Amino acid sequence: MLTRKQLDLLDFINRRLQRDGVPPSFDEMKEALDLRSKSGIHRLITALEERGFIRRLAHRARAIEIVKLPEALGGEAQGFTPKVVDGDRPDSRPAAAMEMGGEALQIEKLGRIAAGVPIEALDHDEQVTIPTALLSGQGRHYALEVKGDSMIEAGINDGDIVVIRETASADNGDIVVAQVEGYEATLKRFRRQNGMIALEAANPAYETRVLPEGSVKVQGRLVGLIRTY
C-alpha cells in the first residue's frame, strides 16, 4: 500500500519516463510534489524502492527505472487478489463447490488468524469444504478464519475464511501467515529488507511491524478466500 505522496511521485516519474525516456531530476520531483527540500524526495524514492516499484541503477545519474505499477496507475494488482467464493447457500452440494462450478474437497480449518493484533498460534479445529479451484501448487493447504480488519484494503474482511498453502518461504508482496516470536500468529503482507522483516497491514489504521528476520517464521501463503453472508 502506497501513501498519497508515494503514489504521486511514482506517477510523475512514470509519465516523464514515457514522455522523455529519462526520469526527472530530484529538483523536478521536489517541484512537482511541492516539497520544501530534496530530503523528502529521497525518503519517497527509498520507500518506493523498498516496496519493489522502482529500481535505482548504480553509478548512473538520474538512473531510475519502473519495475511495476499499482492498480491505481494502471498496473496489475499487488500481491494477492482474492479468489472469493460465497458460502452459506442452500444446496445439496457444498456451497464453495457450487459457486466455483467444480469439484470440492475438505481441508483442515486450524482456528483463527489475526488481521489486526496477533493472536495465539494455530491449533487444529475442524474441517472446511473448498473448491479445488482455490488450491495453488503442490503441498498441504489449510483454512483459517480471519479475525480483525487490518487487511480490508486487500479485500480480506473480518469473518472471511482464508485458504493457505503451507510454505516456509515468501516473496516480497505476498500475504502470509506469519508466526511472530514463536507464539503469535498474524495475516500480513510480507517484505524482507536488510535482515529485517516488515509485516504490512492493508489498512492505514495499523502500523507496519518491522522485526528481526529470526523472530518471524512464515507458515503459509494466502491463495484463496471464502466469504459467508
User: Any catalytic annotation for residue 147?
Assistant: no
Instruction: Please enumerate, as own/partner, the contacts of 30-34 that have beta carbons within 8 Å and a separation of 24 or more.
Output: 32/8, 33/5, 33/8, 33/9
Query: Looking at 39, 136, 150, 169, which residue is catalytic?
Result: 150
Number of H helices, E strands in the chain: 4, 13
Per annotation, catalytic residue among 30, 109, 147, 188: 188
> Catalytic annotation on 38?
no
10 Å Cβ neighbour count for 91? 9
Which residue bears the cell 516470536? Answer: 181
Q: Which uninterrupted H or E stretch holds 33?
A: none
> Annotated active-site positions, please?
150, 188
